[in-house]
Structure 1
């Protein structure tokens, strides 16, 4: 066994010596590695990994892979250093703390993704898309409708799913009108990000703030008006450049599968379980979410067991030709299987989140987050620091940015925590690469909605960003 572990120890020793010859002679009391080789190496590995993440669409490398490797290397170096000083238990405890934080968010997001996948499989979103396409609305009306729906759906569903659904509608009705499609996609990205900012379920960053206990559930809705302002300011300006021509309908008919509406109700009940469990019982929200997953599994069992008998009886009792065909089509479909919905969760995103949490947690344990917190939240005014966080999230994914802020645990008022939640949520709208919704739509509307198309409207989006901040500072001044 000693021979198996020796190469790893030698490798880590070489890294340590290479970057800091005095590493093992440093003080074991403070364990501040920010000026040692371990710290510099950790920064380098994280920077390289994140560069690969940002180049995902260019090199076609899944974003989870580099951060998973970087997290392993960072904590291996930390573990080696602490074991050399007889403090391996401290490193282990720190790692377990970060792992526990991730696991709560992981299971919460897994349940939410499973519900969204179940709704999608039951044709709920496709039915909504077909209804909108066949109504014969004008392009300007579609521009506003998709934006408003994105704003109000994203607080419940995630902003990525919402953006993809609305973009599918825009692509259908837009046809060859690339100008309309580009403007509508920009509007959808801004709306989806803004809508997710005022709900604990709307974005991973808001979920992190809520689960950490920095802001109570009901207090998030104080951001509703600022979020509306963030969406409306650029939307109003861009709408003047959208044509009023009538959208073309393709006559597509989509039938929702049995149980679609009941799954929506179960999802709302599951959210209620999470909220009440956290606010009334003081339990982590993940408890309510996992309970809701169990209920969905029971409902899936019910649908599977009654599938054949239900459709056989319904087909036999109808004389309407159209209804007969609809029932036959739905009855011939595959039965509902809950574990296929779990399998279709965004595993790359979930694993990416693990890598980010552990990387940032490792950098925080080394001491870098303390340095940044001292610089930003002690030497700067917290308002300026939180506005800067939003600007940074337009370049770097808001998940590591928000996790870093939470790890710093700056002493801020509720109003300031709401401000950083708002800016981290909507700041990514200023660039197409600043949010998951923007990156996804660049792939879906490839060649039409591009980085260049988005950045032309960045000044308008920035105007909404600034307006939403001032609105929050004014309306919620009592929380500061």
Structure 2
């Protein structure tokens, strides 16, 4: 029995790695698209992505399957190229993918660290408390959380923004499941739409900017189409929200010292990243890492002056006989920037590595060239870019956009803006189509669900179509 198993495995390896299956497409690449290795690579990637899509059911972090798939795909590529005496070519291709990922990793890590620092300084809690205690009606809160999500996500990211707004919604919505579900849908659409007109709003826009295809200011041409994408479904959905007021909440939140300085440093860091890319021709990550250094220096200042600041505040609290404040001051801990780094969304960052390396491997095999030829040669390019958005509702928009960037089809700036828009907002069509939607299904478990989102999919699709038409009309000179 064991001999049969080993013979079968040996036969499979012969079929997969047989040189007879391969053809050279150039001096530095082999065409593996019709070989056993190519078919096995697609199978591995598909199986990994099925596990990713089942994250909520399986409770398996999405980074695990794609990390393994990346290793298997490039391991097979390396074995074939070694057999042909072309190990150097495979190594260089992998290093190219790794460099692309490293730049994006460091960029995102700095952005996440700043967002976590703001969260630690209680900025987001302060915003939530203000909104809850202002006595807004449910319909006003529906609009307020949506508008804030639309305008915060270009600076932060759509995931962080959606989680913040969902915390507010859950706090004020209470047992009103209908309001919570509809407001969460609105926030997901708004956060994804807001992230589409900024290089910092979504990983896909960041990839397009760092690739040098679109300049920093060119993304702002998508502001009105993105706003339409959010406003069309929001207007329709708001008509179904009751105009009643929720119960007031007496929650008291004190924003910690240095919070607004950190906001200023984050804005300065963004300016440095843009300047490094636009003025110096350097990668934006140079400005971001310099900004991380500024945050570390400010963290050092906060630690050095903490005792003096606490002594002053304790004296004031003792004079006012404020026991609650004295208890709070006794629990204050020094600011540590490396704790903020540790709290970055590492599962997302590692998932991003797996996706970049997997898609890069499929591109090196030759599949992306085939797809590019079909979509961007045989199809109308506008229809192809619209299809990319629909696909991103089923498959995460990161691999979809990375595949398009790897194919790098010949397109006008108007078309590149179109695919950036559709990949960014297309994920709103389904709850599993974006990181914001998946995160909120976990945060509002049992209330904001796949089915609840699907019920409003036709309305969201109306906004998707409207935003495309507005872009085609408004930015017609760019095509």
TM-score by length of 2: 0.95
| Deviation (angstroms), 1:27 | 3.2
| Alpha-carbon separation, structure 2, partners of 1:83 and 1:23 | 11
2:220 alignment partner in structure 1: 221
The answer to whether the Cα contact below 8 Å between 2:66 and 2:354 also exists between their aligned partners in 1 is yes
**Per-residue CA distance 1:431-468 (angstroms, 9 max, x = gap):** 00110111111111111111111101000000000000
| Deviation (angstroms), 1:381 | 1.1
1:422 alignment partner in structure 2: 421
| Deviation (angstroms), 1:307 | 0.4
| Deviation (angstroms), 1:330 | 3.7
Q: Where does structure 1 lack aligned partners over 5 or more consecutive residues?
A: 1-9
1:17 aligns with 2:11: no
| Alpha-carbon separation, structure 2, partners of 1:138 and 1:357 | 44
The answer to whether the Cα contact below 8 Å between 2:118 and 2:124 also exists between their aligned partners in 1 is yes
1:168 alignment partner in structure 2: 167
2:469 alignment partner in structure 1: 470
| Deviation (angstroms), 1:247 | 1.6
| Alpha-carbon separation, structure 1, partners of 2:97 and 2:318 | 61
1:351 alignment partner in structure 2: 350
| Deviation (angstroms), 1:378 | 0.7
1:391 alignment partner in structure 2: 390
**Per-residue CA distance 1:183-217 (angstroms, 9 max, x = gap):** 10000000000000000000000000000011000
Cα distance, 1:165–1:12 mapped onto 2, change above 3 Å: farther
| Alpha-carbon separation, structure 1, partners of 2:178 and 2:451 | 13
| Deviation (angstroms), 1:249 | 1.6
- How many aligned positions are there? 470
Cα distance, 1:29–1:143 mapped onto 2, change above 3 Å: closer
SS in 2 for 1:393: helix
SS in 2 for 1:446: coil
The answer to whether the Cα contact below 8 Å between 1:16 and 1:38 also exists between their aligned partners in 2 is no
SS in 1 for 2:448: coil
1:338 alignment partner in structure 2: 337
The answer to whether the Cα contact below 8 Å between 1:315 and 1:328 also exists between their aligned partners in 2 is no
| Deviation (angstroms), 1:328 | 6.2
| Deviation (angstroms), 1:332 | 3.5
The answer to whether the Cα contact below 8 Å between 2:31 and 2:366 also exists between their aligned partners in 1 is yes
The answer to whether the Cα contact below 8 Å between 2:21 and 2:35 also exists between their aligned partners in 1 is no
Q: Where does structure 2 lack aligned partners over 5 or more consecutive residues?
A: 1-6
1:445 aligns with 2:440: no
Cα distance, 1:197–1:330 mapped onto 2, change above 3 Å: farther
SS in 2 for 1:394: helix
| Deviation (angstroms), 1:293 | 0.3
SS in 1 for 2:378: coil
1:433 aligns with 2:432: yes
The answer to whether the Cα contact below 8 Å between 1:78 and 1:91 also exists between their aligned partners in 2 is yes
Cα distance, 1:285–1:158 mapped onto 2, change above 3 Å: same
Alpha-carbon RMSD across the aligned residues, in angstroms, is 1.7
1:289 aligns with 2:288: yes
**Per-residue CA distance 1:244-279 (angstroms, 9 max, x = gap):** 001212210010111111111110000000001100
1:7 alignment partner in structure 2: none
The answer to whether the Cα contact below 8 Å between 1:12 and 1:77 also exists between their aligned partners in 2 is no
Cα distance, 1:329–1:363 mapped onto 2, change above 3 Å: same
**Per-residue CA distance 1:142-167 (angstroms, 9 max, x = gap):** 00000000000000111111101101
**Per-residue CA distance 1:58-92 (angstroms, 9 max, x = gap):** 01111000000000010011011011101110000
The answer to whether the Cα contact below 8 Å between 2:314 and 2:329 also exists between their aligned partners in 1 is no
1:372 alignment partner in structure 2: 371
TM-score by length of 1: 0.95
Q: Which moved more, 1:260-269 or 1:365-374?
A: 260-269
